[in-house]
């Protein structure tokens, strides 16, 4: 405190930690502050005692669940798509040298009362139990069309320019049933509502090919997750900032954002003042600059057994599309286990989430809870979602968005990219590079097909 900085970042949520790391990498002098005594904010990782303290004050953890050191439970789990933009940020910044990853064992979707793997290839479509024989052939033809489409080769277009043709029109062209369109739009393209149907199909094609290429890289699923949870990402980016001269202060309450002539010039914490030219913060630090956009319910469930009908997967990503449940929003399930060092070896974690649509959110989430089997214990978390009301370029206070109900990082990346452009004034230019140091090894569970440098044992 009592110094001048280029940027002050308030809050240590993942978005804020990534922004702090990216700006420090550009040579900015960063002060990173959080009123909590730990990194993470709304999407922190908690041990067992912290979890019970947060949701069931006065109640001690069950003795048969194991010790605190066995648990790293993410309040907002988000999986990384192997070829996705967020993974490129990890590679670009070199944060990978602080982390280890494991692949998520399976990606599943709910359709017609059944759970099955998301068909990420033409052969998967032919084997899928979610479609009859004729529909399998139509789905296979569609996936081949997506994979082979080339703007330079009109013979692959089948009369459709996906830059102007809507996704709904493409589905109708292949005579795909609504349930199959759900499977593709929500399971492969990872949309969380149906607004994409009326937009040009180009965006959806990009998302589908991203999913297919990510799944093809290692075969089981397109998703990765860090060992010991997302808290490792917070620490990795905080360490990146500090390695480039940044300062991180926890347990420091911010009393006021200081302004001069309508522009932010610093913050006050008690009697101490830190000056800066720009401020980045989560919605809790700037309540007058945000609007409420909805609510999310997340239910953290401790299980003794894998989720039924998932081939005893030790980790999974499962989507229940909105139309299958007669809802307006999907239900997402993120499953992990001791294999990712998230909980004790003989237990499993499942976090079920969705956007709240009624005044009875716990009833809305029941379809997701019903497929988990026996639940040892559950913790219900309801919180508000916010987004900024302006872009921050006038007063130099740049506010991030709250985390949505999705269980993957793509929406978080879009917010990071948007924030970066507003702060710096140009697009985020990602140039992946190899981190230095460590042991060079080939490992399909790291971040690329090339040799990856990591420290310690490859998981």
pLDDT digits (tens, 9 = 90+) for 305-348: 999 989 899 999 999 999 999 999 999 999 999 989 999 888 89
* Strand spans (E) along 1-85: 7-10, 30-33, 45-46, 73-74, 80-81
The Cα diameter of the chain in Å comes to 72
Residue given tokens 């024989």 in the structure block: 133
Residue 437 confidence (pLDDT) = 35
Which candidate, 343, 360, 236, places its Cα nearest to that of 300? 343
Residue 64 confidence (pLDDT) = 76
Radius of gyration of the chain (CA): 22
Residue 220 confidence (pLDDT) = 81
pLDDT band at 96 (very low <50, low <70, confident <90, very high): confident
CATH number corresponding to 7-46+227-291+388-454: 3.50.50.60
State mean pLDDT over 406-410: 85
Q: Are 233 and 13 in contact (CB under 8 A)?
A: no
* Residue 416 main-chain phi, psi, to 5 deg: -60, -45
DSSP string, 373-416: -SEEEEEEEEEEEEEESS-STTTSEEEPPPP-S-SBSHHHHHHH
pLDDT band at 431 (very low <50, low <70, confident <90, very high): low
| Three-class DSSP category at 290 | strand
Residue-wise pLDDT tens digits, 355-398: 999 999 999 999 999 999 999 999 999 999 999 999 999 999 99
* pTM: predicted TM-score of the whole model, two decimal places: 0.88
119-218 has the same fold as 7-46+227-291+388-454: no
Residue-wise pLDDT tens digits, 165-210: 999 999 999 999 999 999 999 999 999 889 999 999 999 999 999 9
pLDDT, the chain, mean? 88
b/e code 71-90 from CB counts within 10 Å (16+ = b) = bbbbbbbbbbbbbbbbbbbb
Domain parsing of the chain, residue ranges: 7-46+227-291+388-454, 119-218
Q: Does residue 43 carry a pLDDT above 50?
A: yes
Residue given tokens 């990402």 in the structure block: 233
Q: Give the residue, 125 or 172, on which the prediction is more confident.
A: 172
Residue-wise pLDDT tens digits, 206-250: 999 999 999 988 778 999 999 999 999 999 999 999 999 999 999
State mean pLDDT over 301-308: 92
* Encoded tokens for 457: 């044992």
Dist CA 394 CA 187 (whole Å): 40
Q: Is 371 left (phi over 0), alpha (psi -120 to 50) or beta?
A: alpha
Residue given tokens 């497929």 in the structure block: 371
Least confident range from 131-135, 400-404, 408-412: namely 408-412
Residue 283 confidence (pLDDT) = 95
The fold of 119-218 is: Guanine Nucleotide Dissociation Inhibitor; domain 1 (1.10.405)
Q: Give the residue, 291 or 69, on which the prediction is more confident.
A: 291
Q: Does residue 81 carry a pLDDT above 60?
A: yes
pLDDT band at 57 (very low <50, low <70, confident <90, very high): confident
Q: Are 105 and 222 in contact (CB under 8 A)?
A: no
Dist CA 422 CA 174 (whole Å): 41
């Amino acid at each position: 405190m009592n110094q001048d900085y280029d940027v002050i970042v308030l809050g240590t949520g993942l978005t804020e930690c990534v922004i702090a790391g990216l700006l420090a990498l550009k040579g900015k002098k960063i002060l990173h502050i959080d009123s909590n005594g730990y990194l993470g904010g709304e999407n922190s990782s908690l041990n067992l005692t912290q979890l019970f303290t947060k949701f069931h004050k006065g109640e001690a953890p069950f003795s048969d669940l194991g010790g605190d050191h066995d648990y790293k439970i993410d309040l907002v789990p988000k999986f990384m798509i192997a070829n996705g933009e967020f993974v490129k940020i990890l590679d670009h910044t070199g944060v990978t040298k602080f982390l280890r990853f494991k692949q998520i064992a399976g990606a599943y979707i709910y359709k017609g009362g059944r759970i099955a793997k998301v068909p990420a290839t033409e052969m998967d479509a032919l084997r899928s139990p979610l479609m009859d024989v004729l529909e399998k052939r139509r789905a296979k033809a569609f996936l081949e069309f997506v994979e082979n489409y080339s703007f330079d080769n009109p013979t692959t277009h089948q009369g459709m320019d996906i830059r102007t043709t809507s996704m709904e029109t493409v589905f109708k062209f292949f005579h795909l049933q609504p349930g199959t369109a759900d499977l593709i739009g929500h399971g492969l393209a990872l949309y969380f509502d149906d607004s994409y149907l009326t937009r040009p199909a180009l965006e959806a094609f990009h998302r589908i090919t991203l999913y297919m290429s990510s799944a093809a890289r290692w075969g089981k699923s397109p998703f990765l997750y860090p060992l010991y949870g997302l808290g490792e990402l917070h620490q990795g980016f905080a360490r990146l900032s500090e390695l480039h001269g940044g300062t991180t202060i926890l347990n420091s309450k911010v009393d006021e954002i200081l302004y001069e002539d309508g522009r932010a010039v610093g913050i006050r914490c008690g009697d101490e003042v830190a000056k800066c030219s720009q401020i980045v913060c989560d919605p809790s630090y700037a309540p007058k600059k945000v609007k409420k956009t909805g609510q999310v319910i997340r239910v953290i469930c401790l299980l003794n057994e894998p989720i039924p009908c998932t081939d005893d997967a030790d980790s999974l990503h499962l989507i229940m599309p909105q139309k299958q449940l007669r809802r307006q929003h999907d239900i997402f399930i993120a499953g992990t286990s001791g294999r990712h060092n998230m909980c004790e070896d003989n237990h499993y974690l499942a976090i079920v989430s969705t956007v709240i649509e009624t005044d009875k959110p716990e009833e809305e989430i029941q379809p997701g809870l019903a497929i988990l089997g026996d639940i040892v214990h559950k913790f219900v978390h309801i919180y508000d979602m916010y987004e900024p009301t302006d872009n921050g370029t006038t007063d130099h206070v740049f506010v991030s968005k709250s985390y949505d109900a999705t269980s993957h990082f793509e929406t978080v990346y879009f917010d990071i990219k948007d924030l970066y452009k507003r702060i710096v004034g140009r697009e985020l230019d990602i140039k992946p590079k190899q981190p230095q140091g460590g042991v060079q090894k080939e490992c399909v569970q790291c971040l690329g097909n090339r040799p990856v440098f990591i420290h310690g044992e490859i998981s």
